[in-house]
């Protein structure tokens, strides 16, 4: 009976320890993924804005009607006002917007004029 209790207690301790260790890297990845998803939505909203207005937005306020939950989504986003001046052949290297939220990895999330999102 005592051996069973010790084994059960040891197994429970092992599971708690392993889940705690696994939780830390997972939570930082979850934050990065959420931030990248937010920027992807902002990038799509910017492209729809360009279709409607003929130019990319220069500030986040211009996107409020293009996003559901805009207040939360745009809280940590900064749009580059010069992104609209990018030449078509530089869309893949011109930053459209970036997250101002500090990520656990120390990297920054960026969305480019062509719509792709990266962590740098």
Tens digit of each residue's pLDDT (9 = 90 or more) over 49-73: 999 999 999 999 999 999 999 999 9
Please tell me the distance from the alpha carbon of residue 27 to that of residue 80, in angstroms, as a whole number: 29
Domains of the chain: total: 1
Does residue 2 sit within a domain? no
Please tell me the distance from the alpha carbon of residue 94 to that of residue 2, in angstroms, as a whole number: 66
Tens digit of each residue's pLDDT (9 = 90 or more) over 18-48: 444 444 456 888 999 999 999 999 999 999 9
Domain that holds residue 109: 26-119
Predicted structure pTM score: 0.74
Strand positions, DSSP E, the chain:
77-79, 95-99, 109-112, 117-119
Does residue 109 sit within a domain? yes
Among 91, 63, 92, 93, CA closest to 77: 63
Residue 31, exposed/middle/buried by CB under 10 A (0-12, 13-18, 19+)? middle
Does residue 102 sit within a domain? yes
Does residue 103 sit within a domain? yes
């Amino acid at each position: 009976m005592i051996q069973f209790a010790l084994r059960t207690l040891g197994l429970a301790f092992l599971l708690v320890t392993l889940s705690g260790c696994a939780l830390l890297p997972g939570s930082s990845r979850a934050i990065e993924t959420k931030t990248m998803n937010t920027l992807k939505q902002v990038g799509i909203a910017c492209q729809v804005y360009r279709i409607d207005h003929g130019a990319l937005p220069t500030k986040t306020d211009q996107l409020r009607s293009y996003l559901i939950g805009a207040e939360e989504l745009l809280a940590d986003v900064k749009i580059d006002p010069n992104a609209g001046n990018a030449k078509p052949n530089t869309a893949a290297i011109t930053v459209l917007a970036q997250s101002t939220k500090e990520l656990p990895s120390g990297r920054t999330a960026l969305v480019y004029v062509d719509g792709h999102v990266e962590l740098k």
